[in-house]
Amino acid sequence: MDFFNNLGKTLSEKSRDAAKKAKDMADIVRINGQITAEEDKIAKAYQTIGKAYYEMNKQNEKDEFAGYFMEIEEAEAKVAQYKAEVQKLKGISVCPNCGAEVKMGTLYCATCGGKLFQSMDASGTETVTGTVEDSNQD
């Protein structure tokens, strides 16, 4: 009798333990999600503070974070260069007036209507598009 009583008790304890473990696991996942959300807030606040500090102090070469200012400038230059590479591969250019993407070789921006002063021919050679009248000789 004791054996069966003990067996039944053990099984129900085991299933209770399993249920508790499953609930604990779910709680861990939920709490970890809350931690990530709060850490994201902290990271964004740091980013806002850092960007504001950079804007206020980037001209100061003697600033204690001047090394980071240089890193930012170099990275921004690389980003601009990489973006230009992607644009060239996609066959697009950027309107100097409004920043909209325009197809290479287009004379006018479809977004703002501004004149695009230069265009690329199919070989990628830069060609300046001027009016013929400009070269009239008297």
Q: Give me the residues that bind Zn ion (CB under 5 A), please.
A: 95, 97-98, 100, 109, 111-112, 114
Cα dihedral 76, 81, 82, 87 sign: positive
Q: Which residue, 105 or 114, is less far from Zn ion as judged by CB?
A: 114
CA distances from 42 to 29, 31, 89, 106, 108 (A): 20, 17, 38, 45, 45
Assign 76 to helix, strand or coil.
Answer: helix
In angstroms, give the least distance from the CB of 111 to Zn ion: 5
Strand partners, 127: 119
In angstroms, give the least distance from the CB of 103 to Zn ion: 12
Q: Which residue, 6 or 97, is less far from Zn ion as judged by CB?
A: 97
In angstroms, give the least distance from the CB of 100 to Zn ion: 5
Assign 90 to helix, strand or coil.
Answer: helix
What whole-number distance in Å separates Cα of residue 92 and Cα of residue 100?
Answer: 10
Q: Which residue, 60 or 97, is less far from Zn ion as judged by CB?
A: 97
- Polymer length of the chain: 138
Q: Which residue, 23 or 115, is less far from Zn ion as judged by CB?
A: 115
In angstroms, give the least distance from the CB of 92 to Zn ion: 13
